[in-house]
Every structure is written in structure tokens, then in C-alpha cells.
Amino acid sequence: MYTYETLDIQSASELNETTLAGKTAKEVIRWAYATYGNDLVYACSLGAEGMVLLDLIAKEKSDANVIFLDTDFHFDETYELLNQVRTRFPSLNIQALKPALTPEEQADQHGERLWETHPDQCCAIRKLDPLEKGLKPYNAWMSGLRRAQGPTRAETPFVGRDERFQSVKICPLIHWTLDDVWAYIEVNNLPYNKLHDENYPSIGCTHCTAPVAPGEDERSGRWSQFGKTECGLHRA
């Protein structure tokens, strides 16, 4: 089993270009749990890809560990979906991680509307720090990134060394298109965030998510007013 310390560039290349080359998402997930078992956690954002991964994961390891970053700033529809997911996958070990600061404490210590004045700092407090803490007990984490989500994700491998969180990162859906994701949701009758039906292909915090126009990049509605494209969770 490779850890952050032992997964060097050559080992990662061998995994991606030999062991996992041409594998389906289901096969990558099977390999991931056979390799890491309870040492693997899925960080789920409850996006459309998240519904697919939760279903595939539950079929492979029904008591898998899942974390969701509850920034306190999600849409009501997202919290409603979290409840639906808990009902649909009762045996998954789903934990909602909260930031160290409440919204009020954040405003007191760092100023009102930090997401407008210093969005990177806001994401660090409400997403990165909680995820870093949440990943600590595990050797590997899983993410629903897809290469087609935009230029910042175009080179994502199945398995890589995550320098930011000092972990091994596994992304079984890299080769899926958005159509693949929605076809899977439909065929398996999975719950999903109702905002997706209102032109929100990518959904984060209320303050930083806007609907997108037809033909725009899937993630162009995220931080559209701040010139920011990623929260920092998926830096290469």
C-alpha cells in the first residue's frame, strides 16, 4: 500500500499507466478499497458526481467512511440532499465536518463578508482547515473530480500524491463526462441537488455560487465575481 511518503512519481506513473490504465470507475473503486480499506475516506461535496460515487462506493464497501464539509453557508437544498443521502445510504459512515469558527466568530475575528474581502482566507477557514483535520487519520482520500470540469482539472490522474494534504488522492471519475454522470443518476434513480435543475451545474456556498448561462464552463458559476476558480482543495 502506497502512502504519501512512499508514492513517488515513478510509482504513481506505474499505477496510472499500468495497474489502473483503462479501468472503469467501479474497478478503480474496487482497487482502492482492496488496497486501503478503512484507511480511505471519500470527501463528498454532494455534487452530481458525489451521488454517483456514493452509490458506487456503497456497492463496494457499504460502511465506507465519507466526510462532507459543512461550511455553514450551504444552500437549503444541499442540506436537504444530505438528509436524503443519509436515508438512501444508511450504512455509510457519513460525517459532516464543521469549521473551527462559527460564521459569527469569523465575522468578529476577520471582518464581515470575508468571502468578498478575502475569499481565499474564508475557504481556508471553512474548507481547507476542516478537510486537513478530517483527512489526518487516513492514508488516502477519494474525490469526484472529472477532467472535463475545466482546465484546472484536465490532467487529473486516477491516483496521485496530494502535496497540499500530504495524502494519496484517488479520483475514479476522471474520464467521465457530465452526460455520463447524469445518465448514471437517472438509471439508478439517485437523489440530487434540486438546484441542478435551475442552471447550477456546480454548487458550493450560497455566497459564491451563481447559475451559469448555456454553453458556459461547468464551474464558471463558482466565485464568478472574484476571479477565483478553485477553493484550494484540489491544488495539484
* Residue ranges that bind ligand SF4, judged by CB under 6 A: 71, 73, 115, 119, 122-123, 126-127, 204-205, 207-208, 231
Residue type, 221: G
In angstroms, give the least distance from the CB of 16 to ligand SF4.
Answer: 30
In angstroms, give the least distance from the CB of 175 to ligand SF4.
Answer: 27
Distance (Å, rounded) from C-alpha 6 to C-alpha 156? Answer: 20
In angstroms, give the least distance from the CB of 115 to ligand SF4.
Answer: 4
Residue 88 or 234: the one with the smaller Cβ distance to ligand SF4 is: 234
Residue 12 or 97: the one with the smaller Cβ distance to ligand SF4 is: 97
| DSSP letter for each residue of 171-213 | -TTTT--HHHHHHHHHHTT----GGGGGT-SS--BGGGB----
Helix (H) or strand (E) holding 49: helix 48-60
Distance (Å, rounded) from C-alpha 22 to C-alpha 193? Answer: 30
Residue in 79, 77, 120, 80 with CA at minimum distance from that of residue 98: 79
Work out whether the CA dihedral 219, 222, 226, 228 comes out positive or negative: negative
CB atoms within 10 A of CB 137: 10
Three cell numbers at 107? 465575522
In angstroms, give the least distance from the CB of 108 to ligand SF4.
Answer: 16
CB atoms within 10 A of CB 103: 13
Residue 68 or 176: the one with the smaller Cβ distance to ligand SF4 is: 68
Looking at the annotation, which residues are catalytic? 231
Residue 59 or 133: the one with the smaller Cβ distance to ligand SF4 is: 133
In angstroms, give the least distance from the CB of 196 to ligand SF4.
Answer: 18
Find residue 41's DSSP bridge partners. 65, 141
Residue 126 or 146: the one with the smaller Cβ distance to ligand SF4 is: 126
